[in-house]
Amino acid sequence: MAFKIADSCVSCGACASECPVGAIKQGDTQFDIDASSCIDCGNCANVCPVGAISPEE
């Protein structure tokens, strides 16, 4: 199960630098996680200052 970034993302970039596989990239309006690359480590969710990242259900 991959992680997802909610609309509450403030585009700070903290998550992208923590992703060990580079699955997080800046999108048009916020950062996005490539679900096919995500390894479900949770590093991104742990550093998100606004809690915008959660496991995809």
CATH 3.40.50.1820 assigned to domain 3-55? The reply is: no
Where residue 42 falls (left for φ over 0; alpha for ψ -120 to 50; beta otherwise) is: left
Q: What's the rounded Cα separation, in Å, for the pair 57 and 47?
A: 20
Q: Which helix (H) or strand (E) holds 45?
A: helix 43-47
Phi, psi of 54, rounded to the nearest 5 degrees: -145, 165
15-45: pLDDT as tens digits: 999 999 999 999 999 999 999 999 999 999 9
Both tokens of 37, joined, read 């690359």
- Total-model pTM: 0.90
> Which pLDDT score, from 0 to 100, does residue 52 have?
98
